[in-house]
Amino acid sequence: MADSPGTPSPAPAPSDALDAADGSSDVPDSFADSPVPARIDLAGLPRGEGRLALVTGVTGYIGGRLVPELLAAGYRVRAFARNPQRLRDRPWAQHVEMVEGDASDAESVANALDGVDVAYYLLHSLGSGRTFESRDRHLALIFGKAAREAHVSRIVYLGGLYPSGEELSPHLLGRKEVEDILLASGVSVTVLRAAVILGSGSASFEMLRYLTERLPIMIRPKWLANRIQPIAVRDVLRYLVGAASLPPEESRGFDIGGPDVVTYLQLMQRYAKVAGLPKRYAIPVPVLTPHLSSHWVNLVTPVPHTIAGALIGSIVHEVVVKERDITAYVPDPPGGLLGVDEAMKLALARVQDFDVQTSWRSASTPGAPSDPLPSDPDWSGGALYVDDRSSPVDATPRQLWTVIEGIGGVNGWYSWSLGWRVRGLMDIGVGGPGLRRGRANPYDLTVGDALDWWRVEEIRDLELLRLRAEMRLPGEAWLDLCVETDDFGRTVFRQRATFHPKGLSGFLYWQAIKPFHGVVFGGMQRNIATAAAAVKESDERWKPSRAS
C-alpha cells in the first residue's frame, strides 16, 4: 500500500454481498462497481456519479466509516486530516485523495474544499468548557466561509439531538451553535441531529457496555431516567450518504433516531439481556451532577472523563425525535431501521470477533502530541534523551515479531507490571488515558491504533513498531521496538525510548524516571526475548498483515 495515496484509481470490484454481521443484504447492482465494498444497505439512495465529497474528521469514528460508503455510492472522496499518514493502513486509503491540513487554518481549509461538491463537517472538540466551545465556533466559521467561497453545493453536518424550549447543557449548546453557524454560511446545509449512536467502537456503546458489564449494582443519577432515542451507526451512515443529494433549496436540520425510545437505565438492562448478563440494579442518589458522573464513568470504563462528560451532556435532557422529515429524501432501508436490541447484538458480535472498523479511540487524545518522531537529534535546538538497548534473541524474526505486535492490552508490557499499573493510574488522575484503552485487536496493529497510553505511529512488519505516548507528560515520548539481524545472522531485539522534554519540568521528569529504566526497559529486553523463544513457528495468534 502506498504511503501517500493520490486521486482515486480503478480497483477490483467488491464482493457480491455486504457484511452479514452488519445485518445488510446483497449489494444492489447499481453499486457493484465500487472500488470498496459497502457495509450498509445503500438501496434506494441516489448514486454519487463521480461527484467529489470532502470528509473531515476522517481519523474519527464516523468519518472513517463514512469514506467506504461514499466510495460504494459512487462518489470520489477527498480525506482531510492533520496527519494523513495515520490513514495509510485503512482498506480504502489507496482509493481516496489525501489532503493534509489543519481545520483551524483558513488556507488549509480553502485548499481542501477546492472543486468539492459536498463537504462533510464531522469535527467536534473532545471535551467541554469555554476553550472547546470557542474552538468549535471558530472552526465552523472558517469552514462555512471557505465552503461559500469555494462554491460548495452542500455541507452535511452530524450534530446532536436537542430538546426545544430548554436551557441546553454546554455540550448540546455547542453542537447547536455549530449548526446555526453552518446554516448561516450561505451554503445549502443538511444537519442530521442524533442522540446515542450504537455501534462497535462508538464511545456511546463502549460507555454503555463497560458500565453494564462491570457494575451489577450501580448508583443511579437522575439522567439514567431520561428518555433517549438511540440509533444504529449503520442507519446514521445511510442518512449521511443520502443527505448529500437533497434538493438545493433544502437547507435545514433533521432529527434522526431509531425505532425505540428508552431510558438509559432501560438501555443498560436490555444490553445486559443481549450480552447474557444477570439483571442490573440501580440505587437512586439525590445528587450526582453530570460533571461528577463523568469522573465516575472515568473510573469504571476506558472512556476518559472529557469524552464521558460530553456523552453525558447529550443525555441530561430527554432527547427524542420530534419529526421524521428526512424520510422524504432518504427512505428507510428495505428492512427498516435497526432497533436497540439488534443494534447492540451486531455491535457486540463485532467486538467479540475483533472486527471493529473504527473506534472512538481512533480520534486524537486531547492535549496529546501529534508530531512524528524527529529524525534530527538536535531537533528544534533542544535535547533528545534516549535509552537504547539491544540484545541477541534465541528466536527467529517471525517469533520475535509475534511478541512485539502482540504487546500491550491484556498481554501486558513484559516488565514490572505493578509499575505500569501505578503509572497508568497516575495518568488517569491527571486526565490522561492510562492503560484502560487496551487494544482493539489482540493479534494485529495498524498505524493510528490506540494501544494503552500509546498510539501506533509507524509499523513495518518484521522490522519496526513505533509508539508515540499520549499520556500526560512534560514533553513528548516515543518507544521503538525493532527486529534486527547482526553480523552473525542472529536475531536481535532492539528497543529505543526517546523523550523530548519541555522546559525544566521535562528535564526533571527524565531524571526522576531514569533510575527505573533498568527495571522497566531491562525487564522488557529479557522477558520479550524469553517470550519470543517460547513462540512456536506454527503459532497463528499473530502474523504479518502487510507485505514484509
Q: What is the pLDDT of residues 193-238, one digit of tens each?
A: 999 899 887 778 888 888 888 888 887 777 788 899 999 999 999 9
CA 79 vs CA 47, 67, 495: distances in Å: 19, 8, 34
Please give the Cα distance from 494 to 346 (Å, whole number).
41
Report which DSSP code applies to 319: B
349 to each of 22, 230, 346, how far by Cα in Å?
9, 18, 5
Helices 517-534, 417-429: inter-axial angle, 10-degree rounding = 120
DSSP letter for each residue of 423-462: HHHHHHHTT--TTTT--S-SS---TT-EETTEEEEEEETT
Q: What is the pLDDT of residues 427-470, one digit of tens each?
A: 877 777 877 777 878 888 888 888 988 989 889 899 999 999 98
Domains in the chain and their CATH numbers? 52-348 (3.40.50.720), 385-539 (3.30.530.20)
Residue 146 one-letter amino acid: A
Q: Rounded distance, CA 469 to CA 102, Å?
A: 21
Q: State the pLDDT at residue 381.
A: 41
Q: Kindly tell me the burial class for residue 390, based on how many C-beta atoms sit within 10 Å of its own C-beta (0-12, 13-18, 19 or more).
A: middle
Q: Shortest CA distance to 294 belongs to which of 431, 452, 131?
A: 431
Task: Specify whether the CB–CB gap between 538 and 454 falls below 8 A.
Answer: no
Beta-bridge partner residues of 458: 466
pLDDT value of residue 130: 57
* One-letter identity of residue 326: I
CB 409 within 8 A of CB 438: yes
Closest CA to 222 of 305, 310, 288, 311: 288
Show Cβ contacts of residue 43 under 8 Å, excluding neighbours closer than 6 positions. Answer: 25, 28, 333, 334
End-to-end Cα separation, the chain, in angstroms = 11
User: Any idea of the CA torsion for 470, 476, 479, 485, to the nearest 10 degrees?
Assistant: 150
pLDDT for res 17: 30
pLDDT tens across the length of the chain (548 residues): 333 333 333 333 333 333 333 333 334 444 445 666 677 888 889 999 999 999 999 988 899 999 999 999 999 999 999 888 888 888 899 999 999 999 999 999 999 999 999 999 999 876 544 577 788 999 999 999 999 999 999 999 999 998 888 888 887 888 899 999 999 999 999 999 999 899 887 778 888 888 888 888 887 777 788 899 999 999 999 999 999 999 999 999 999 999 999 998 899 899 999 988 888 888 887 666 666 666 667 666 666 666 766 677 677 788 899 999 999 999 999 989 999 999 998 888 877 665 556 544 555 544 444 444 444 333 334 467 889 999 999 999 999 999 999 999 888 999 888 888 888 888 877 777 877 777 878 888 888 888 988 989 889 899 999 999 988 888 889 999 999 998 888 999 999 998 888 877 888 888 888 888 888 888 999 999 999 999 887 665 655 554 33
pLDDT at 113: 97
Confidence at residue 545, expressed as pLDDT on a 0 to 100 scale: 54
User: What is the predicted pLDDT for the residue at 205?
Assistant: 83
On whether the CB atoms of residues 155 and 182 are closer than 8 A, the answer is yes
Q: Which three cell numbers stand for residue 7?
A: 486521486
